[in-house]
Structure 1
Amino acid sequence: MPTTPTDSPSILVIGTGELGASVVAALAHHVSAHPGAATITVLLRPPTPGADPGQDTRRAELTNEGIAIEHADIATASVTELAGIMTRYHTVISCIGFAAGAGTQRKLAHAALTAGVSRYFPWQFGVDYDEIGRGSAQPLFDEQLDVRDLLRRQRATEWVIVSTGMFTSFLFEPAFGVVDLTANTVHALGSWDNQLTLTTPEDIGVLTADIVFAEPRIRDTVVYLAGDTISYGELADIVDRVCDTTVARREWSTEFLRDQLAGEPENTMRKYRAVFARPTGVAWPKAQSYNAVRGISTTTVEDWAKANLV
């Protein structure tokens, strides 16, 4: 007897960057352990004209793993064109983030609703946009709220928003400036007591796959993940322990960060520093997270630091 789409959903993952690759790998692992659980397809940019297909190792890897490929350029494709692709799938998971440019998240959400997909996971793998609200230091966050409004106003398509906090690795990006190993300094954004929730892309992939296949089915809700939740003070302690040092601790006040942003309002890192100086909306208790409640282990900030800083 053939399975129905609900029993064996066809899943389309949009994008295979750092996050998308982790999501695809975790979904594929689940399917390999539960044959027939789902079919997986990824949406990639069309091949460059004249390129040798034999040199495209990523596509070859996907094919070898039994993952199908669709092609579309998200930047230039219309809502109608994208909906025409999505309509063939039960579940669509977007792993295309802010780097794709303003308007992308709204376009993908409109396409999913136009296609009438049964279930949509928008790219919301970040902070608590509801709590932060409109008019924050990062204008792209307003678009995330537009997407939530679109999804909440309708009932035909189930949706799941996965909130993850900051990617753990981003906290240590030299350009972000919070952890400055060269200067042996850790900066607190706003206050040493302010907290951050952080999750690695690998853990996000595993947990997203768990959410996709969870029973009873998770629908029309925000799910909070937390690889770890720490304060800036705890971050400085972690760097001290892992690097066997004593870092200089310097606080960047909210006022200082706002003045910096006012002096260079288009600077992406200054926008993020101002956002992550907030006392709310960027952290939630790990004990209450989906992974903690389910007993799924995750990479802590100290785990990540030991693996990558030493």
Structure 2
Amino acid sequence: MFSILRMRSTIINRIPIMSGSPSILILGAGELGTAVLEALSAHPKRTGGKLAVLLRQSTIATQDSAKKAQNERIQSLGAELVPGDLANDSISQLAEVFARYHTIISCSGFGLPAGTQIKITQAILEAGVQRYIPWQWGIDYDVVGTGSAQDLFDEQLRVRALLRGQSKTGWVIVSTGLFMSFLFLPEFGVVDLKARTLRALGKWDAELSLTTSKDIGRMAAEIAYEPGDVSHQVVYIAGDTVTYEKVAGLVEKRFGGQWTKELWDEETLSGKLREKPGDGMIKYASVWAAGRGVAWDMEKTINAQRGIELQGLESYLKDMPGFK
């Protein structure tokens, strides 16, 4: 009996006692990183707790007016600027920085060299970070599986394997579907406002889930400050789950006029990929055309389960300016 009590006491002593909100480090200050910081700063359940944003030293010391304004904005939200280079620092260098924080939220993924997300995760685990929300914003890579048209997604699966292979660091993967702004990138192909062209990837009645960057930030803050029983798992959020046919109808309703409609099925995109094998946007579009892991019922989302209303596509379109 004494040995059991002593063991239980040891376990309890290892659980960190935290007063107030956790210290949080955000990796990156782009569109998503800024949205996450704004939501963390304003969250009603935040009671203290340090906020910080990791940036390259050259960005912190910049004389560029736009970057200086961005840095001032970050600081105005109560966050400090922490130097670090995700692409070039070693695992131990990153781990030394990460170890100072309870929670790390990665908002830096686009444009980083292959293997960087693995390195970041290894540094997280080496540092013994209590909780990690990795750069997994997007689709359900478990369902997509290995060997998809977008080879970068295989690295995302390796990150999941690293996190699932240990129990010391808590983690939450937030599947958001497509960033709603991405829907309107001409290079992605679904809505080309300038060319007045609407496309379906795969088939017109296929579904895709969509979330705005602002709402991703809101839900990241919700998970950080109101985790409940969310830990060591994948959760889903979405502002909307719609078919390509509905996307086309809402765009036509919002902007009027004549539109060209095209179907980019898997065969069409495979042909485009043969012509341009290194084109990242065609790779992304091909994954959506395959239709696996890119959509989920709204009832499955953590925002619906918690009664948090996120912005849908029709509302997003109303907020968009008109165009000629």
- The CA distance in 1 between the partners of 2:60 and 2:180, in whole Å, is 36
Equivalent residue in structure 1 for 2:35, among 4, 18, 22: 22
Q: Which runs of 5+ in 2 are unaligned?
A: 1-15
Distance in 2 separating the partners of 1:103 and 1:303: 37
Residues 50 and 9 (structure 1), Cα distance of their counterparts in 2 relative to 1, 3 Å cut = closer
Q: Which string of whole-angstrom CA distances, capped at 9 and with x for unpartnered residues, describes residues 78-125 of structure 1?
A: 000000000111111111113212111101100000000011111000
2:164 corresponds to 1:152: yes
Decide whether aligned partners of structure 1 residues 244 and 209 sit closer, same or farther in structure 2, where only a CA change above 3 A counts: same
Q: Taking structure 1 as reference, are residues 49 and 176 closer, same or farther at Cα in structure 2, changes over 3 Å only? A: closer
Q: Which amino acid aligns with 2:21?
A: S
Q: Does 1:46 align with 2:57?
A: yes
User: Which residue matches 2:130?
Assistant: 118
How well do the aligned residues superpose, as a CA RMSD in angstroms? 1.9
Mapping for residues 75-86 of structure 1, pairs under 5 Å: 75-86=87-98
Alignment pair present for 1:100 and 2:100:
no
Unaligned runs of at least 5 residues, structure 1: none
Deviation of the 1:34 alpha carbon: 4.2
2:234 to 210, 222, 240: 222
Deviation at 1:248, TM superposition (A): 2.6
AA partner of residue 133 (structure 1) = G
* Rounded Cα–Cα distance in structure 2 between residues aligned with 1:236 and 1:81: 48
Which entry has the higher C-alpha Rg, 1 or 2? 2
Secondary structure at the residue paired with 1:99? coil
Is the alpha carbon distance of 1:78 and 1:130 closer, same or farther for their aligned partners in structure 2, counting shifts above 3 Å?
Answer: same
- In the alignment, is residue 270 of structure 1 matched against residue 282 of structure 2? yes
Q: Which one of 22, 25, 28 corresponds to residue 12 of structure 1? A: 25
2: CA distance between counterparts of 1:26 and 1:208? 8
Matched-pair identity in %: 45
2:206 corresponds to 1:180:
no
C-alpha contact (below 8 Å) 1:242/1:309 kept by paired residues: no
Instruction: Name the amino acid aligned to 2:246.
Output: E
Provide the C-alpha distance between the structure 2 equivalents of 1:20 and 1:170, rounded to a whole number of angstroms.
16
Q: Match of 1:57, SS?
A: helix
Q: List per-residue Cα deviations over 1:146-194 (Å, max 9, x = no partner).
A: 0000000001100100000110011111121221223322111110011
2:70 is aligned with 1:67: no
Distance 2:61 2:105 in 1: 30
Residue of 137, 157, 165 corresponding to 2:149:
137
Measure how far apart 1:264 and its partner are.
1.1
Task: Determine helix, strand or coil for the equivalent of 2:87.
Answer: coil
The alpha-carbon distance between structure 1 residues 4 and 41, as it changes in their structure 2 partners (threshold 3 A), is farther
Structure 1-normalised TM-score? 0.93
1:304 is paired with a residue whose SS is helix
Name the SS for the 1:277 alignment partner. helix
Amino acid at match of 2:180: T
1:53-88, CA deviations, whole angstroms, 9 ceiling, x for partnerless residues? 998222223223321221011111000000000011
Contact residue 46 and residue 225 of structure 2 kept, 8 A: no
Letter in 1 for 2:240: D
Cα distance, 1:72–1:285 mapped onto 2, change above 3 Å: same
Partner SS, residue 57 of structure 2: coil
Q: Which residue of 1 aligns with 2:7?
A: none
Cα distance, 1:86–1:6 mapped onto 2, change above 3 Å: farther
Moved more, 185-194 or 144-153: 185-194
Q: Match of 1:168? A: 180
